[in-house]
Amino acid sequence: MKYLFKIYATKPSYTEVIVDADTEEQALEKVKNLKSEELEWQNHSLRKERVTYEVFIKSDKDSTE
């Protein structure tokens, strides 16, 4: 048997951003346009990492490879 595992991990993290705007709508628009990779993320120490597994089973007899 062959087993294919797809493992998805999400580590709880957070960042804080101060936005200068005249209205709440303008501030929200600026936050929506931020690029995630440009923010300084920190790990959230009180929450655990979440991992999801998907397992696909295929018999060697069914394999064409």
Query: Regarding predicted confidence, which is higher, 65 or 19?
Result: 19
Q: Is the pLDDT of residue 59 over 70?
A: no
Global confidence as pTM: 0.51
Q: Is the pLDDT of residue 29 over 60?
A: yes
Whole-number mean pLDDT of the chain? Answer: 79
Going from the C-alpha of 52 to that of each of 8, 30, 37, 43, 47, the distances in angstroms are 5, 32, 23, 19, 16
Q: Which amino acid is at 11?
A: K
Q: Which amino acid is at 48?
A: K
**pLDDT in the model for residue 3:** 74
Place of tokens 């709440």: 24
Q: What is the pLDDT of residues 31-55, one digit of tens each?
A: 999 998 898 988 877 777 677 777 7
